[in-house]
Structure 1
């Protein structure tokens, strides 16, 4: 191996160590590595490193662009509430831990086969705490299974994870061959079925009975909020439990007003009627979730009379100052909406439940108001003497529930087009994004904000480093070393590539690991005179099936805090699942894609 190969290998290893040790973020480590290789190539004139054009080519990769578009598609489904619309009826019927896991994890895995895992897990994080409390089971036995089910679902199709798309595109660029949408199902579906069975059977033994860490972080403020059941809406004739009103953590239904009659101490089997006024008390996050539920609307008319279109509004917290002119007056009499162009939808006064309708609450200094208003309200009143503090509430945009029946068919059509031999996945994803924007399921600015640019930049940089491993000859040398260690046996080489990918993924990130191992696997396949396809599938599965550390997959990190997990919890529960999926892959891959 020439000096270029040793340099490239050293730079790549340094980047991997920096990422694994958390000394640098993946973005910083990979871009620094690119800069070193490009600068050395420019200074020495060597064509065996990385030119500027080759470094930039990764960011124009078709798979990378497709991943970006799929982020926007997933956002369209979450912004319309389509995912909750599909799943919520199942959760209300759970009776125990195993029942809850089956009803939660099966649809999550199914959705993850076609959508990015991150938003799916984010949608269900708020649900788990109350579901666990209602069933009297530890929430720590639901959070990590949620992440694992999303990961397993992503192994079933080519669009299930960004890794699959990127590796497939690299193969297309190299050999003109690629996988179809459902080819990975040969491995993914058996792995998913056995993985879910393992989770249901072993979570009680291997996952800790640990208090949910989120309970210690809950905001002590309790808002009193009024909502009304829409006439002929989705919640009419549903019980309180079926409607999901018991599935929001830190929120309880205090009373129902029905035709002037108050129903206190509302039970879970009470059936809702159109026009019911519900008074609930709870923490901010759950009030926001309530505000976005299908079939409910704020009980105050002030919201309907706001000037800004619903799609442009946001939620804002404002603390009433002593100098506010409305102190000592009710919200209605003080004409709050007309004065501030904002509607009060909830009021917090310490930890108390406030009596009466929202409009009749007499304001006091220190009251925290939750307002539905226009985004300019924050800048207009940040230094106002009327409020001590004004701050926006994240993820509080209105959910377009009426668009869910449009968003779901758009996703289904996208999948059908991607599965056909006439339309590429990039084309299908682009048509889906355009359809979501044209039908106003999501607007252009929301679609752009939904794209995880950090993920795309990491992928693009990793593709550039992979090209440098090829140019310098380092990939070929490592591939030959793998063959030597496996005694020229294709099956052992396949296992070695799988293990190398899996270990690298657990230490860094799945996308970076897959792209960096790809040229090594291709060099090994070429040296053996074997088909590259089984090695590509092994990389896809190994890079996705990352269960043994919180680092390997983003959803594992997302549930670490809420579940109160420690690093060893991932090793104890995830490592056997890693080995299970690897065994399934090693048994099936050579039979479907001969070595």
Structure 2
């Protein structure tokens, strides 16, 4: 499990089956996790978090988070870390980090910054934020489910907040102060990304509702875009190239950008920047579950060759809208409608589902492939998704209904309003994580029934009791830190929960204090990339080595333990 020679979910499920075969646990105990309230709560939370992603809300927030170029390094980090931590308190942090990795990579490239200085801080901020509420991380919900399973009242939505928020703030302060001196500066991974990017040309016309009219390119924020470059402007038939940062933009200007498909699709959604007027396709608010981006390569025998895009009737014939064009790295300097198509041209198009099936065998195109998807919904659905999540949080926090029921109601509303589709639901659920969580309940029963939990508790008590209750807490945090950094936090929670219950019973210590200590301790996966999914996600893109996590994470781990124990002693002991 530690080495991950086999998949973690397979190893845990196999361990549960072995416990059944060895008659350590019953079949009912082995599979109790698959119907446990905590596991089902996590599954529904994946869908609620997915709705935020597929509505396009996170993409909008990422633009706000990064801010403008030219600000200080500390200010840039604050603009990133505090929103990430805040959002992670109320949704699964995995999709947050997943969305920010490519956005951060492009932003770091445009600003000539080292990506390795940002990704570990983002992952750690997501971990720290996730501790602050019951729904912030799947680990909290696992422990919630184990409490219910053990006949203990589950944790409240904000029960751990008074401990977790001060810990989070101190942790973020450590990251801000120490990242420059302890994190590596590696630039080659950003350069590799640029070298392997295929760039398209897109032309956007400024309409009267664009907020940048009368502003310079720099002031309008079009100078340092993520993965895009404004290389010329056409104004009343006159070409302005290169487009200088102080050039004032006017109504009717055509802006020529070169960039990668995903960033082009995001840019064309900007209010007042128009690719083309289309009565059937609303390019600003199209539903990405029904309309998808494709890249099509024009074949040598295509009837489109020699025709310009405006006269080719492309929209009517193929039921698709051309967004941008790629031609062997050439920066095409004509309006999209005036471009004469050639064999080998690659078109970035938006079209309805089924395009690949309809035109796969056609001589018109040499190759058809689905491009990077950009989440998009009607504007009201973009705001409906967070509104429904807030409703779920309030229903649970005010104890109007249990969290599982509140989440179920939220998911039902999302589906009925088509804020999320069934396909997006399936993509949102991480079944691998759910299998790990469900199997963890079986392992917890095995530890209890076999006496291992009681034995481990006795060891912790024996060595920790020399220093009283504080010593017990220190022993628990150190044990949990080792477990969570060298397996997964979910597995660590399941393994240590029965041990914590046994310690509470033997020492007559406040059970909830020990459980909250466990909630915090098993989430603190700072010292290795193994223990937490977001650490594994940023390991490759950041060009990190295992020792980078040890160097930056161990001091944070120690600070975390000291502050957490002090606050627990103040509030509970």
TM-score (norm 1): 0.88
Q: Does 2:359 match 1:381?
A: yes
Q: Residues 272 and 449 of structure 1: is their aligned pair in 2 closer, same or farther, counting only changes over 3 Å?
A: farther
Q: Residues 119 and 401 of structure 1: is their aligned pair in 2 closer, same or farther, counting only changes over 3 Å?
A: farther
Give the structure 2 partner of residue 27 of structure 1.
Answer: 9
CA distance in 1, matches of 2:494, 2:159: 20
CA contact (8 A) 1:153 1:160 kept: yes
Give the structure 1 partner of residue 536 of structure 2.
Answer: 557
CA distance in 2, matches of 1:310, 1:181: 33
Q: Residues 193 and 268 of structure 1: is their aligned pair in 2 closer, same or farther, counting only changes over 3 Å?
A: farther
Q: Does 2:156 match 1:180?
A: yes
Give 5+ residue unaligned stretches, structure 1.
1-18, 42-48
Q: Deviations over 1:434-482 (max 9, x none)?
A: 2333333222331232111111111001111111211222212221222
Give 5+ residue unaligned stretches, structure 2.
none
**Which among 555, 573, 585 is matched to residue 552 of structure 2?**
573
Cα deviation, residue 372, structure 1: 1.0
The 10-residue stretch of structure 1 (461-470 or 215-224) with the greater mean CA deviation from structure 2? 215-224
Cα deviation, residue 553, structure 1: 1.2
Give the structure 2 partner of residue 480 of structure 1.
Answer: 458
Cα deviation, residue 399, structure 1: 4.1
CA distance in 2, matches of 1:244, 1:75: 29
Q: Residues 192 and 270 of structure 1: is their aligned pair in 2 closer, same or farther, counting only changes over 3 Å?
A: farther
The 10-residue stretch of structure 1 (494-503 or 191-200) with the greater mean CA deviation from structure 2? 494-503
CA distance in 1, matches of 2:207, 2:445: 57
Give the structure 2 partner of residue 162 of structure 1.
Answer: 138
CA distance in 2, matches of 1:233, 1:471: 67
- Aligned residue pairs total 568
CA distance in 1, matches of 2:214, 2:36: 51
Q: Does 2:28 match 1:53?
A: yes
**Which among 116, 119, 123 is matched to residue 99 of structure 2?**
123
Aligned-partner SS, 1:563: coil
CA distance in 2, matches of 1:547, 1:419: 29
The 10-residue stretch of structure 1 (384-393 or 197-206) with the greater mean CA deviation from structure 2? 384-393
CA contact (8 A) 1:89 1:242 kept: no
CA distance in 1, matches of 2:250, 2:156: 48
CA contact (8 A) 2:288 2:374 kept: no
Q: Residues 204 and 53 of structure 1: is their aligned pair in 2 closer, same or farther, counting only changes over 3 Å?
A: same
Cα deviation, residue 400, structure 1: 3.6
Pairwise CA RMSD: 2.7
Cα deviation, residue 192, structure 1: 1.3
Q: Residues 573 and 449 of structure 1: is their aligned pair in 2 closer, same or farther, counting only changes over 3 Å?
A: same
Give the structure 2 partner of residue 521 of structure 1.
Answer: 500
The aligned runs of 1:430-579 (5 Å cut-off) are 430-487=408-465, 489-579=468-558
Cα deviation, residue 564, structure 1: 1.5
Q: Does 2:42 match 1:67?
A: yes
Q: Residues 220 and 380 of structure 1: is their aligned pair in 2 closer, same or farther, counting only changes over 3 Å?
A: same
TM-score (norm 2): 0.91
The aligned runs of 1:79-478 (5 Å cut-off) are 79-86=54-61, 88-93=63-68, 95-211=71-187, 213-218=189-194, 219-228=196-205, 232=209, 245-246=222-223, 248-257=225-234, 263-267=240-244, 277-291=254-268, 296-299=273-276, 301=278, 304=281, 311-478=289-456
Q: Residues 455 and 233 of structure 1: is their aligned pair in 2 closer, same or farther, counting only changes over 3 Å?
A: farther
The 10-residue stretch of structure 1 (329-338 or 564-573) with the greater mean CA deviation from structure 2? 329-338
Aligned-partner SS, 1:486: helix
CA distance in 1, matches of 2:107, 2:39: 37
Aligned-partner SS, 2:202: strand
CA contact (8 A) 1:87 1:107 kept: no
Give the structure 2 partner of residue 14 of structure 1.
Answer: none
Cα deviation, residue 268, structure 1: 5.2
Cα deviation, residue 257, structure 1: 4.5
Q: Deviations over 1:408-436 (max 9, x none)?
A: 33222222222113322222222222233
CA distance in 1, matches of 2:49, 2:141: 16
Aligned-partner SS, 2:540: helix
Aligned-partner SS, 2:22: helix
